[in-house]
Structure 1
Amino acid sequence: MGKLRYYLCMALYYLFARHLPATDMPYNLGSKKIREILCRGIFKKTGRNVTIEHGAYFGSGRDIEIGDNSGLGLNCRVNGPLKIGDNVMMGPDVMIFTQNHEYSRLDIPMNLQTAPKEPVVIEDDVWIAARAIILPGVTIHKGAIVGAGAIVTKDVPEYAIVGGNPARVIKYRNSTK
């Protein structure tokens, strides 16, 4: 029953639910709830009040964990292994990669050389703005903000605000104001 449920949820998500309207549209047809229910049958772990937006692509989804009050943004493209904590906001068109190509061997074409998967971890209370790109093996620590269009190539410290290509710390969130 477990495999059948998984494949049924995958088929319903990619053929139907992925294409339902965004959750903020007045004619959303219950799309938030439909996508959330289907992802419970797909993801490794799904918290409460999860939002999976229109067009989100997550491959097989088997090694994705998403915490309470978190979401995948409009038209995002993410791959596992991926662990998303609680209260994580994700803007549109975010891409999270967990695998890359190798290029060290000259006797094998690059498109046939793949590196091992490296998990991405996004801790609690993180905001990932529109069109950010997060590369394999990165951890975005608690309370961080990733600016729009940033390309994150290394770990982001707690409460840091990062931006640019490659992403660099711009400043830290101030807890006194």
Structure 2
Amino acid sequence: MNLSILKQKINKNPRSKYIIHKLIMNPQGACPRKWVKWFVNPIIFFSSKGKGAKIRSYTIMNISPINQFTLGSNSVIEYFSLIDNGVGSVHIGNNTRIGLRNTIIGPARIGDNTILAQNVVVSGLNHNYKNINLPIRKQGVTVSPIVIEDEVWIGANCIITAGVHIGKHTVIAGGSVVTKNIPDYSIAAGNPAKIIKQYDPDKGEWIKV
């Protein structure tokens, strides 16, 4: 049976979903149980890594079979990073570098030839908080996919929030917090990030906004 079809059937049955989740995930943390890391993760890594792709030492791979994980050819996940597909798939394209101490929480798709510098957080997850009679940790989460297109450069210490789409060949200045979509061929900076330059194809140069 196709994995996506099986997942849909499980999600439609609350009891099955609860049982599967308990079998796979550690109840005291948002990470897979040891048996998943020891036996399932190596199979996922082998089948989802492109030629020449590297995952450096001391990277935390919270990868579960619930959602997909792919790492494109010649791409690198650097030391001390965290990749988590527990609430949504993570897809990383070809020739892309995930820098030191990055955190990538799905659902997220990162394109080809993209650079994420140090200490970047990309999270497609938000915690619910509306019910003031319950602790936030007991209110569950919502997810909204993040898309980072090809040839993007994201500077150090940036935060990319859930639901954001960053266009092709765009630069996000270091320390920025991206809360809204950024179009192709733009430079954005600040908290919240705003477009400060865009490429003008007629003039052949970057123009201040």
- Under a length normalisation based on structure 2, what TM-score does the superposition of the two structures give? 0.64
**Where does 1:115-154 land on structure 2 (aligned, <5 Å)?**
115-154=141-180
Q: Highest Rg: 1 or 2?
A: 2
Same amino acid, percent of matched pairs: 33
Q: Measure how far apart 1:56 and its partner are.
A: 1.1
Higher relative contact order (CA 8 A, sep 6+): 1
- Once the two structures are TM-superposed, the CA of residue 46 in structure 1 deviates from its matched residue by 2.0
Indicate yes or no: 2:70 matched with 1:45.
yes
Using the TM superposition, give the Cα deviation of residue 93 of structure 1 relative to its aligned residue in structure 2, in angstroms.
Answer: 0.3
How many angstroms apart in 2 are the aligned matches of 1:33 and 1:66? 10
The residue number in structure 1 matching 2:181 is 155
Deviation by residue 1:27-47 (Cα, 9 ceiling, x = unmatched):
xxxxx86527x98x9862221
Cross-structure match for 2:83: 58
4+ aligned runs moved over 3 Å, structure 1: 3-6
Please, what is the CA RMSD of the aligned residues? 2.8
Q: Deviations over 1:108-157 (max 9, x none)?
A: 12222233211111001100010000000111011111100000001111
Distance in 1 between residues matched to 2:94 and 2:187, nearest whole Å: 23
Tell me the CA shift for residue 73 of structure 1: 0.8
Higher percent of residues as strand = 2
Q: Matches of 1:34 and 1:124 in 2, distance apart?
A: 19
Shift of 1:59: 2.2
Structure 1 contact 99–114 (Cα < 8 Å) conserved: no
Q: 2:129 aligns with which of 103, 114, 118?
A: 103
Aligned partner of 2:73: which letter? R
Structure 1 unaligned blocks of 5 or more: 11-31
Q: Deviations 1:79-124 (Å, cap 9, x if unpaired)?
A: 0111011110110000011111222212212222233211111001
Q: Which runs of 5+ in 2 are unaligned?
A: 1-35, 45-51
Aligned pair count reads: 153
